[in-house]
Structure 1
Amino acid sequence: MHASERFDRYLEHLSAGLGHADRHAGLRGYCTGLMLPLSRKSVEPMAARVDPMHASARHQALHHFVAKAEWSHTEMLRRVAQWVIPKMDFRSGGWWIIDDTGFPKKGRHSVGVTRQYCGMLGKQDNCQVAVSLSLASDQGSLPVAWQLYLPEDWAADAARRTKAGVPEEVRFATKTQIALEQLRALLDEGAPRYCVLADAGYGVDTAFRQALSDMGLPYAVGVTSAVVVWPPGVQPLPPKPYSGVGRPPVVPQRTAALQPLSVKALAMSLPPQAFRNITWREGSNAALSGRFAAVRVRHAGGNAGKARLRPEQWLLIEWPACDEEPSKYVLSTLPEGTPLDELVRVAHHRWRIERDYQDLKQDFGLGHYEGRGWRGFHHHAALSIAAYGFLMAERLIADKPVGGKKNFVERQVPALPEDYVPRGSSARAAPRDDLDHELAPSAELPPDRSSKAVPLLRKSKRKASLMTQ
């Protein structure tokens, strides 16, 4: 079967979740536009390339489809996963990867925009931030859940919520709370209980780690150097006897010689022979390796070290030989007998989410949406992931290794008509009441960029399941 036929079948599969047949053309046009080699993939330039002879009418149609039509982005992501995930090989294990990504945005009316940390810029600035959950194997990874983080000032502003179309049921939730809800929803649908990976922005939250354990999920999550643990071989004293007044004590007793340490202090105290050079995978140019040590510790609570006694878990330390101190710390509940090289391999599997974001933003227009509303923001993201998912599936079918050259279906970009007038001219006006024209610059690929591989999945006969085996 030719790739174009598989694309038609893929769109039929996705269309079944749209609710109305008149939305099928919008899905095809939007996904096609996202896969074209355009420098910007907002509605107007995509419409002009997909249907150059009727650019204005197609612009209005695509704008309505993404910003106004009442279809579920959650159902769209579910159907993308049903197509792609069965094509992935989980015989060597699977991982849930939690992360968030930022979109620079000026003004204050685009939904969720506020001054906050933006990973894309590496600093605090005006931006939107979305939390995602990806399912990964050795072959690749796919975002299967996506939600905008709504800051407290937005959640409490009824006027802005109404104007941006924020659903009534959406309330303020931290990023860790959003991620946990995404996980719970997928597990309730029968998704597998794989190890969870996350960076220190999530890993430092003790309640987050405990919630993962309560769900029966092992984890390998980053923590900061200030997190305090009981070092290996140290058995803390039991809490003070209960006096009968107030709450029973839960914090282990301490003496001058019996104190918890920060993970940095513990790492600095280890002898040089505790560290080994480990290679965890082949990079695009050379093997990726580093210097690591792993010890069994008990978390002692935040930076102060005042918490109830926790079960033992792994502390993985990465300390480049050329650096004066360790660079990364990971807490993990993988089994006690897990070899060091496996701990390193699992912890470094989180790189896939960074690659997902890079490809989605640079190749599939994830950050190019210009609307201000909640619905359009989530619809555009789901469609970007849908386009990404199809090309992932094509790569899995072809059995191409991640990191190889693209072998995607070549799509010819239709030429613009001679009388085409770009957006901003009154000659071809279209509704723009909810468009944000104060856009921050977005990252775009140079024309000669060689994109690297994207990951993939297979259509499931079960309507709402992410089961992979």
Structure 2
Amino acid sequence: MDQDREGTDGLDTWLAPFLAVMGRKTRRTWAPFYLRGLLGPGDRKSLQPMAARLGLPGHDQLQHFIASPAWDDRPLWTELGRQADRLVGGCDACLVIDDTALPKKGTLSVGVARQYCGALGKQANCQSLVSLTLAQNEVPVPVALRLFLPEAWTSDPGRCVQAGVPEAATVSRSKGEIALSELDRLQTAGLRFGTVLADAGYGVSAAFRHALEARGLRWAVGIVRNQKVYAANVQLVPPTGRARKLVPDQEPRDAETVLADLPWRRVAWRQGTKGKLSARFAAIRVRVGDGPVWGNNRHLPGAEVWLVGEWRSSGERKYYLSNLPPETSRRALAGTIKARWVCEQAHQQLKEELGLDHFEGRSWTGLHRHALMTCIAYAYLQHLRLAEHHRTGRGKNEDPPSGAATITQPTRRAAGHHRTAVRQPRPTRPVSALPKALHAVL
């Protein structure tokens, strides 16, 4: 009985800052119920199965809590950011921008369209959520999940109204624009991080890179192999003929070609379950061909950055740009670039352990509020793990626990997909191995 009280008080105490911004007592009552449903056992984390496991006579009240547009959940997202910052924030943290897909069979759920679905490794009917994850020392905490609306939705106002999409969200926006908007929100809330990471789905956009630069942020992003770059010593010179605008004194080259001429050296970035994780890397300072167009669709040189190549043991090569300082070592570049993998693990655990993709409602509000609850539950599990880590008396010089609160196998992407391949995370404890107090909560 005392242990039951200890576990319940632990969750209730941790939730106190969230409940304080929820307003009405009924919301403060049903939020812990919903979270216990997500944290508890059971393969399905949709409303009816959760209500049955919680011993409720029906799921109507949970449904009203999660889908009602009558209350504003933005303060909860802000509090989630604060808690994530407390857990893993700081100048050594990174903010990982990515997206994750939720497969759907029907066509009525908000945002569903035929698009690339990473969970299935092909084009399929799905919802696509732009995600931002705060992470440090391989400990991730998702802090934002926002639905991307394809053109099939933004071009059909009636369809958006039926799904409860706010008018401001019906404007067509790229995933990069959504990510930048969420980044601004998190910075305003005081989230601390040192570097922004993203895969080639975002990094290929010059506008996205320029926006990060304009915000004074450090970043490392994936690119495609034919990204045009100039040597770092490129100069703008007067052109021949009658043209008046200055032009580069050399032609741009593909990133792949530039790196092919360099020495590739093996770099280990962290210890894995079967030894050190390593690959061969090449790096050089360049100026990106992403300035104004000057002729034949060629762009003037932009800022000087690092161009990095990764040559994996499988033979696959990946390419990256980063504005980390010129004195950054090759090992530091590799470690920063490979830190992005942890968001893949967080996505899978949000789905498989906490039911992110189990929501069966069709509305904009319901989907985002369910996503919010899964993120809060995830943060609570990370809070428990980190708290127990400190209780074990490990010294400050020891590595903190890696990964998330559960152990899963990474989702596999389609062969040839442009995103960074998922690495097997270090083994972490399943929910059953978490502190005993948690079981009382569940």
TM-score scaled by length of structure 1: 0.78
The 3 A distance-change label for structure 1 pair 88 and 188 is closer
Question: After the TM superposition, which residues 122-141 of structure 1 pair with which residues of structure 2 at under 5 Å, given as runs?
Answer: 122-141=121-140
Counterpart of 2:273 in structure 1 is 284
Residues in 2 aligned to 1:14 and 1:206: alpha-carbon distance in whole angstroms? 38
CA displacement 1:301-321 (0-9 Å, x = unmatched): 399872222121101111135
- Residue 55 of structure 1 corresponds to which residue in structure 2? 57
Whichever structure has more strand as a proportion of its residues is: 2
Task: State the distance in 1 between where 2:242 and 2:178 align.
Answer: 40
Q: Highest relative contact order (Cα 8 Å, sep 6+), 1 or 2?
A: 1
What amino acid maps onto 1:269 in structure 2? D
My pick for the range that moved more, 206-215 or 116-125, is 116-125
Q: State whether residues 101 and 130 of structure 1, in contact with CA within 8 Å, keep that contact through their aligned partners in structure 2.
A: yes
| Contact 2:221–2:322 (Cα < 8 Å) also in 1 | yes
Q: Give the Å deviation of 1:336.
A: 0.3
Mapping of 1:336-415 within 5 angstroms?
A: 336-399=326-389, 401-403=401-403
Structure 1 residues 322, 179: CA separation in 2 closer, same or farther (over 3 Å shift)? Answer: closer
Give the SS at the match of 2:183. helix
Deviation digits for residues 8-58 of structure 1 (CA, Å, limit 9, x no counterpart): 11222211222211112210111000001211100000000011xx432xx
Please tell me the residue identity of whatever aligns with 1:149: F
- Work out the number of aligned pairs and report it: 396
Q: 1:76: Cα distance to partner?
A: 1.6
* Counterpart position of 2:393: none
Partner Cα separation in structure 2 for residue 10 and residue 89 of structure 1: 18
2:78–2:186 CA contact under 8 A, matched in 1: no
Question: Which amino acid letter does the alignment assign opposite residue 212 of structure 1?
Answer: L
Q: Is the 8 A contact 1:297 1:312 kept in 2?
A: yes
- Indicate which of 247, 250, 253 corresponds to 2:248: 253
Q: How does 1:291-310 map to 2 (within 5 A)?
A: 291-301=280-290, 306-310=298-302
Distance change (3 Å), C-alpha of 1:153 and 1:404: closer
Cα deviation for residue 374 of structure 1 reads 0.2
Provide the C-alpha distance between the structure 1 equivalents of 2:347 and 2:39, rounded to a whole number of angstroms.
Answer: 16
Aligned to 1:40: 44
Residue 162 to residue 321, structure 1, CA distance change in 2 (3 Å)? closer
| Percent of paired sites with the same residue | 38
Change (3 A) 1:268 1:452: farther
Matched, 1:165 2:167: no
Greater Rg over alpha carbons, structure: 1
| Structure 2 CA distance for aligned equivalents of residues 133 and 405 of structure 1 | 18
- On the 8 A contact 1:279/1:288 being kept in 2, the answer is yes
Q: CA deviation at 1:242?
A: 11
Aligned Cα RMSD in Å?
2.8
Equivalent position of 1:31 in the other structure = 35
The 1:169/1:265 distance shift into structure 2, 3 A limit, reads: same
Task: Provide closer, same or farther for how the CA distance between residues 452 and 293 of structure 1 changes in structure 2, counting only shifts above 3 A.
Answer: farther
CA separation of 1:214 and 1:267: change in aligned 2, threshold 3 A: same
Contact 1:242/1:249, CA 8 A, preserved across alignment: no
Tell me: CA distance 1:241–1:393, structure 2 relative to 1, closer, same or farther (3 Å).
Answer: farther
Residues 394 and 297 of structure 1, relative CA distance in 2, 3 Å threshold? same
Q: Where in structure 1 are there 5+ consecutive unaligned residues?
A: 408-448, 455-469
Distance 2:102 2:404 in 1: 28
Structure 2, unaligned stretches of length 5 or more? 390-399, 408-427, 434-442
Provide the secondary structure at the position in 2 that maps to 1:128: strand
Please, which moves more after superposition, 235-244 or 205-214? 235-244
Please give the per-residue CA displacement for 1:392-445, whole angstroms capped at 9, x wherever unaligned.
1111111261259869xxxxxxxxxxxxxxxxxxxxxxxxxxxxxxxxxxxxxx
